[in-house]
Amino acid sequence: MTDLQFDLSEENGTEPAAFKRRLDAARLQDLLAGCATLTAPVELALSARRQGGQVVFSGSARGEWELPCVRCLGPARAPFRAALEGEAPLSGATFDATEGLRQALHLALPLGPRCRPDCRGLCPECGADRNQGTCGCRPDEFAARRNDA
C-alpha cells in the first residue's frame, strides 16, 4: 500500500471509515506539477464509504506551500486547506486517493499569491525589487496607484 491507498475492509456499510494521515511533502510534490512547492507535511483527513463497486470519499488536506509572488516573483509562502470530494474505483478492499488529492490541491492554488500583502513588486523600468528600496527610476505615481487598487 502506498501513502495514498486506504483499506476499507473494516467498513461495514453503515458508518463511513475515517482516516487521518500525515504525508511526506516530497512524495506529493509531483502532484503539483511545478505550480507550487510543498514546504511542510500534508495532513490528510478522509472519510470514505463503499457505494456499489465504487468508493465515495470526502475530507481535507492541510499544509503549507510556496509559490512565486505575482508582483516580485520572490517566494510567497502560505498555509492551505484543500477540500477533497469524489469517487474512486474500489480495488479489492482498497482505494487510491491520489487523483482526488491532486485535483483538490490544484483547486486550492491561490490565484494571486503575494510574498506579503503590501509587496511593492518589480520596477517596470529596470526590474529592481522595490521591496529592497528605491531604484532611482522616475516614480510613476499613476502606475503605483493602479497596482495598489
Q: By CB under 5 A, name the binding residues for Zn ion.
A: 69, 71-72, 74, 115, 119, 123, 125-126, 128, 135, 137
Q: How far is the CB of 132 from Zn ion (least distance, A)?
A: 11
Q: How far is the CB of 35 from Zn ion (least distance, A)?
A: 17
Residues 6+ away with beta carbon under 8 Å from 44: 19, 20, 21, 22, 23, 59, 60, 61, 84, 97, 101
Q: Which is nearer to Zn ion, 93 or 137 (CB)?
A: 137
Looking at residue 12, the DSSP 8-state letter turns out to be -
Q: How far is the CB of 77 from Zn ion (least distance, A)?
A: 11
Q: How far is the CB of 39 from Zn ion (least distance, A)?
A: 17
Task: Look at residue 59 and give its three-state secondary structure.
Answer: strand
With b meaning 16 or more CB within 10 Å and e meaning fewer, what string describes 66-96? bbebebbebebeeebebebeeebebeeeebb
User: In this structure, are residues 93 and 9 in contact, taking their beta carbons and an 8 Å threshold?
Assistant: yes
Instruction: Tell me how far apart the alpha carbons of residues 24 and 40 are, in angstroms, rounded to a whole number.
Output: 8
Q: How far is the CB of 23 from Zn ion (least distance, A)?
A: 29
Q: Which is nearer to Zn ion, 41 or 74 (CB)?
A: 74
Q: Which is nearer to Zn ion, 38 or 119 (CB)?
A: 119
Q: Which is nearer to Zn ion, 56 or 128 (CB)?
A: 128
Q: Which is nearer to Zn ion, 55 or 119 (CB)?
A: 119
